[in-house]
Amino acid sequence: MYQTKNKTYAVIAILYFIAMMFGYYFMGVLYKSGNKYFSGVQWLFLIIAVLIVLIKDKSFSNLGFTKEKIKSNLLVAAIIIAASTAFAFLYTDRSAAVIAKAASYYLFYVALLEEVIFRGFMQNYLFGLRLNRKIIYAIGAMFFALVHLPFQMFVNDMLSFSYIITAIPQLIFTFFLHLAMCYITYKRKDILIPTALHFALNFVQEVL
């Protein structure tokens, strides 16, 4: 996980990020126009990332999955997910169906998707850059923060530079969130625990 690679990997990561910025802008256009299939853009980028890694590497490791600590990581991740879901049942009056739907959304559509793309695929591929490792992590964090801007501009109905100023606290948070998740990924050898933590963070905020 997060090993030095040749330069072609970095080129792929950077081109992928640029494509994502345009893709998420287009997703915002679809969202604003009321198109209910706007989320398909995110799934398309996930599929592209998976195909790139499988074709180029013939392995899931650059997507953030290894077998090294899988049993303990799965156990910890399951506990985090179960505790977060139990919290929703205990401290909100929402129905089981609503909670289950929200849990599925934040686990698979938000947490797992973003962890695979950013802590798995993109951060791994950025190690094709011939730079200090800390700088490479910072670039990955910057990409993760910035990619939220195009779509969120449409969600918040602020298609101007002023939205960037408003979003600075959120950009800073997502920047450091990426670094924290990368640290855990590096130490635990996969994205299972970061996915569970990402889920817990978003899901608990939603149900409060």
In a domain, 167, yes or no: yes
Per-residue pLDDT band at 191 (split at 50, 70, 90): very high
> Which range (36-40, 53-57, 121-125, 175-179) has the least confidence?
36-40
User: How many CA atoms lie less than 13 Å away from 78 in the CB half-sphere?
Assistant: 6
For the stretch 124-141, pLDDT in tens is 999 999 999 999 999 999
Banded model confidence at residue 51, pLDDT cuts 50, 70, 90: very high
For the chain, how many structural domains are there in total? 1
Of the candidate ranges 8-17, 26-35, 102-111, 161-170, the one whose mean pLDDT is the lowest = 161-170
| Domain, as residue range, for 182 | 7-207
Mean pLDDT of 174-200: 97
Asked if the model's pLDDT at residue 64 lies above 80, the reply is: yes
Band of residue 78 on the pLDDT scale cut at 50, 70, 90: very high
Q: Position of tokens 């195009």?
A: 150
User: How many CB atoms sit inside 10 A of residue 108's CB?
Assistant: 12
Residues 6+ apart with CB under 8 A from 86: none
Average pLDDT of span 166-180: 95
CA 29 – CA 26 distance, rounded (Å): 5
Residue 2, sorted as left (phi over 0), alpha (psi -120 to 50) or beta, turns out to be: left
Q: Minimum mean pLDDT among 13-17, 144-148, 163-167: which range?
A: 163-167
Do residues 175 and 50 lie in contact, with contact meaning Cβ atoms separated by under 8 Å? no
Could you tell me the pLDDT band of residue 208, with boundaries at 50, 70 and 90? confident
Instruction: Pull the structure tokens for residue 136.
Output: 């490479």
Q: Is residue 1 part of a domain?
A: no
Is 160's pLDDT higher than 90?
no
Which pLDDT belongs to residue 162?
A: 83
With 80 as the cut, is the pLDDT of residue 32 above it? yes
User: What mean pLDDT value characterizes the chain?
Assistant: 94
**Stretch 198-208: mean pLDDT:** 89
Q: What is the pLDDT of residue 184?
A: 97
